[in-house]
Amino acid sequence: MQSTADSPEHYLQRTIGSYILLIRLPKEETIAIGKLPVRSFHRGYYAYVGSAMRGFKARLDHHLKENKNHHWHIDYLLQKASITSIIICQTEYRVECTIAQALKCQFDTIPGFGSSDCRCRSHLFFAPNKKKMQSTIITTIKKLGMQPRLVEEILRGS
């Protein structure tokens, strides 16, 4: 039997680092994102890069919550879209900008999204195909010397 200290929830609660939300937008939407200009979002898949330096569990619980206060740009998009997968990168260092810089060469960016507190062009990326997006992100993170993990694998105990 798995002890509470070894449970996936406890692991996510005590683990810090950066994460990537893989998001599906089922149809084209025009969305007002906080103070950013209203913009059109294409139907397809998005990857949002964020950090959880106080633990993954609380941050991911916020993103997965249905009714929430809009604190971050991503909260506005998630009103119309759904999270399909989550990739985490356990690290003591804030590496979300490093990941975002690497992904901007791989995918279309949504300028200014999620990057109001840094110099990155964006922390949100677009692709029409989820499988290709997910595999490209995992490969890119590995090339950066990090070990990406799918939250689904953690919850299954893999």
The residues spanned by each domain of the chain are: 4-156
- The count of C-alpha atoms lying within 13 angstroms of the C-alpha of 40, restricted to the half-sphere facing its C-beta, is 4
pLDDT band at 132 (very low <50, low <70, confident <90, very high): very high
Residue 11 reports pLDDT greater than 90: no
- 17 pLDDT above the threshold of 80: yes
CA torsion, points 8, 74, 90, 2, in degrees to nearest 10?
Answer: 0
Strands (E), the chain: 17-25, 29-31, 39-41, 44-52, 82-90, 108-109, 124-127, 148-150
Share of residues in the chain with pLDDT > 90 (%):
60
pLDDT of 59 > 80? The answer is yes
Q: Which of the four pLDDT bands, split at 50, 70 and 90, describes residue 1?
A: very low
pTM, entire model: 0.89
Tell me: pLDDT of 95 over 80.
yes
